[in-house]
Amino acid sequence: MDDDGEKAALSMFLNAQRASVLAIVDGLDAEALTTPVLPSGWTPLGLVEHLGHAERHWFQEILTGSAEPLPWPDDHLPLTTPRPPSVVFAFYRAQCERSDAALAATPLSTPPRGRHPDPLGKETTDLRRIVLHMIEETARHAGHLDAARELLDGKTGLGPR
């Protein structure tokens, strides 16, 4: 498979996972989005914000070596957020768009300019590995959100088909 074909396939899988995340939480009100349902205390909205940070980290800080400053301090508990849903969803979508632009403009074999801590940092040898990691990260958290949604309102099987 050529670089363009492989890149298209990787993008398709990453975008499918991103769409699943958004579809799973679609229809939840602000109260449900900020309700922890597991003992660890994370919230669905906090997990979406975390995924925005992951997109920013991997495609900006690690791939390109720099990222624009965040519009807020990193002042919240892990996987929770004091920000309203509209801000979090706009942040997530904006980070995904930036990631897509970086992916479109960069060959998959490009080594990262930034460095993630080991052991994952040692394994991150090129953009291809970054995309594969983000597919895995997004899919794993989509599964978490799926379980949280069932606990919140009993809905299952949500997401694009």
Domain spans of the chain, in order of start: 3-153
Mean pLDDT over residues 125-149, rounded? 97
Per-residue pLDDT, 120:
86
How much of the chain, in percent, has pLDDT values that exceed 70?
96
Read off the pTM.
0.94
Residue type, 146: D
Query: Average pLDDT, whole number, for the chain?
Result: 93
Question: Does 29 score more than 70 pLDDT?
Answer: yes
Name the token pair of 153. 């309102």
Homologous superfamily in CATH for domain 3-153: dinb family like domain (1.20.120.450)
Per-residue pLDDT, 4:
86
Per-residue pLDDT, 73:
80
Mean pLDDT over residues 112-128, rounded? 92
Q: Say if residue 161 is exposed, middle or buried (CB neighbours under 10 Å; 0-12, 13-18, 19+).
A: exposed
Question: Does 72 score more than 70 pLDDT?
Answer: yes
Question: Does 62 score more than 70 pLDDT?
Answer: yes
24 or 1, higher pLDDT: 24
